[in-house]
Structure 1
Amino acid sequence: MHINLENYNSALNRKIKNFKILLSKHDFPTPKIFPSPIKNFRMRAEFRIWHDDGVAKYAMNYPGQKKVYFLEEFPIASLIINKTMNPLIKMINNCLALKEKLFSVEFLSSGQNKILITLIYHKPLNNDWSLSAERVRRELGVSIIGRSRKKKIVLGDSFVEENIKVKDHSFVFRTTRGVFYSAKFKNQ
């Protein structure tokens, strides 16, 4: 996946212009704009798994098209997601219990470099799957959720935590799979 800085800047400028037009109809103060970093700003990512000649690959569709492309990195995702993607897919490909009928992989990360990986299957999960997933969990230092029809197996935590400081107060924010939030962290 290639990130085009020129496209990012023009899209941001277009959004700012449209937002200011909307605000001009009201007596609001001028907003402050805080651009996102161009890379590593997404704390979550979801990928289809494409099985190609017995090899599982991360896959996405081109926007607005049915054409599939494969990826080994996802530059807009956090550094910890990118760091985990290749070791995870290699471990999946080396283990039939993890690879067979794997449909998608979801990553959820935190600013503290914690990561929750959800593996979604079109088959029942069994003890072989649990033992294999536990080995991956230990080796990669991650939490894993396995999901299949009417079954969920949690290995480690079912959430990631953020430590957020607001003025003189510290808060712990827990995010679970499937919840959208748009936190921005500088050191990911």
Structure 2
Amino acid sequence: MTSSYQQQLDAKIERIQTQFAEFNPPSLEVFASPEQHFRMRAEFRIWHTDDDMFYAMFERNTDQQKTVVRIDDFPIADQSINTLMPILLAELKTNEILSKRLFEIHFLATLKGEMLVSLIYRAPLTKEWEGLAQQLAEKLNIKLIGRSRGQKVILSDEFVVEELQVFDRKFQYKQIESSFTQPNAQVCQKMLEWACNSVEKTDQDLLELYCGNGNFTLPLSFKFNRVLATELAKSSVYAAQWNIEKNNIDNIQIARLSAEEFTLAYNGEREFRRLQEAEIDIQSYNFDSVFVDPPRAGIDDDTLKLLQGFNRILYISCNPDTLHDNLKTLLETHKIVKFAMFDQFPYTHHVESGVLLEKI
């Protein structure tokens, strides 16, 4: 590792160890990132001058003024994105229809080599634009989407299929444009393996809250008899169901509920037609463990109370502050038996962490 990457990683380790020291956790397991080419997504503004256009980002000065920063390459992005960036830009520059009023370009790449590019405009997209964009997509062998206000033109697909390896298994995941996916695929694989290593194979069932597109659901399903996973966003539920079928897994059900709604249903306080339509009988499950990967805001109080009833809680967090706060409640009934940090976002203050809790 270079000294600059190691220094920022060491600073994160010290921060996490200091923040959680009051809970007396076990030794922190640290999972580093590649130093370069680790982001599978990148988004750029397109800056136009009288005789040129280029990729740009903005940097805030001390007086909060924005400065335009020209981007000719982007070392933290996957190599495929860096390779495509100048080629795509050169093609766009040669065509006035494709370049006029172009506002942003978004890249979504996969480890297996697929690429989805979204071109975002400040002007309506015409049939002529569509024809030229189709030619460009075929020439560069990419998937292409055009967007403008109230308009979305999908030329082939609005998704890529990622392939992640977890030990000796490969899992395929549909990743839809503009939907959340883990940006650092190589660290994501380490997170999946850590989660699977944290639980013993059992004939009991797993509850998962906030399952997204089934990122953790798929590999964890091999450790349990059945899995009931919840997710509210329709696009994520659709992707999760596609991923379950694509990977030939038959012991997972997806309930389109928020964590708060599931708590109400599980406690018998409210019935949901969505459960009946999906033929999901919550009471038929023999839950022993629960897996949660909540949003940055953490877990609400009622759901925390629900979690306290499980023997094991596996908690992945993208926000150490809310994890720390949630642990104040969860450690009333549980203890930390595994503690990990994943450097999902190098060179930023963001850090992903994980804990395995067992009932006292």
What TM-score do you get using the length of structure 2 for normalisation?
Answer: 0.48
**Aligned equivalents of 2:38, 2:71: Cα separation in 1:** 18
| SS of 1:29 mapped into structure 2 | coil
Paired position in structure 2 for 1:48: 45
Report the AA paired with residue 135 of structure 2. Answer: R
- Look up the SS of the partner of 1:9 in the other structure: helix
- In structure 1, the residue matched to 2:78 is 78
Aligned twin of 1:173: 173
Higher relative contact order (CA 8 A, sep 6+): 1
Higher helix share: 2
Q: Which stretches of structure 1, 4 residues or longer, exceed 4 Å deviation after superposition?
A: none
Q: What is the CA-CA distance between 1:14 and the residue it aligns to?
A: 0.8
The match for 1:184 is: 185
CA offset at residue 108 of structure 1?
Answer: 0.6
Distance in 1 separating the partners of 2:86 and 2:165: 33
Mapped to 2, the partners of 1:28 and 1:157 lie a distance apart of 46
CA 1:135/1:44 → structure 2, altered by over 3 Å: closer, same or farther?
A: same
**1:37–1:98 distance in 2 versus 1, CA, 3 Å:** same
What's the C-alpha RMSD, in Å, of the aligned pairs?
A: 1.7
Superposed, which structure 2 residues align to 1:32-181 within 5 Å? 32-64=29-61, 65-167=65-167, 169-178=169-178, 179-181=180-182
Measure, in 1, the Cα distance between the counterparts of 2:105 and 2:185. Answer: 22
Q: Does the Cα contact within 8 Å between 1:56 and 1:92 map onto a contact in 2?
A: no
Structure 1 window deviating more from structure 2 (62-71 vs 33-42): it is 62-71
1:26 maps to which of 5, 23, 46: 23
Classify the secondary structure of the residue corresponding to 1:40: coil
- The number of equivalent residue pairs is 182
Which one of the candidate residues 6, 13, 17 is aligned to 2:14?
17
Q: Cα distance, 1:134 vs. partner?
A: 0.8
Question: Whole-Å Cα distance in 2 between the matches of residues 112 and 170 of structure 1?
Answer: 11
1:62 Cα deviation from its structure 2 partner: 2.2
Measured after TM superposition, the shift of residue 53 of structure 1 is: 1.4
Q: Deviations over 1:80-128 (max 9, x none)?
A: 0001000100111011111000000000100111110000000000111
Task: Identify the range of structure 1 (39-48 vs 166-175) with the bigger mean alpha-carbon deviation.
Answer: 166-175
CA 20–74 in structure 1, closer or farther in 2 if over 3 Å, else same: same
TM-superposed CA distance for 1:184, in Å, is 2.6
What amino acid is the match of 2:41? R
Q: Is the 1:142–1:156 Cα contact (8 Å) retained in structure 2?
A: no
For the 8 Å contact 1:36–1:184, the answer to whether it is kept is no
CA distance in 2, matches of 1:134, 1:45: 22
- Cα distance in 1 for residues equivalent to 2:165 and 2:184: 13
CA distance in 2, matches of 1:37, 1:12: 11
Q: Distance in 1 between matches of 2:101 and 2:66?
A: 21
Cα deviations by residue, 1:17-59 (Å, 9 ceiling, x for unpaired) = 0101122111422221111111100100000000011422101
Alpha-carbon shift at residue 142 of structure 1 (Å):
0.4
Identity %: 34
Q: TM-score, normalised by structure 1?
A: 0.89
Sort the Cα spacing of 1:154 and 1:86 in 2 relative to 1 into closer, same or farther, 3 A.
same
Instruction: Measure, in 2, the Cα distance between the counterparts of 1:59 and 1:44.
Output: 15
> C-alpha displacement at 1:177, in angstroms?
2.0
Q: Counterpart amino acid of 2:40?
A: M
Could you list the runs of 5+ residues in structure 2 that have no partner in the other structure?
A: 188-360
Match of 1:8 in 2: 5
C-alpha distance in 2 between matches for 1:142 and 1:119? 12
* Range that drifts further, 27-36 or 112-121: 27-36
Larger radius of gyration: 2
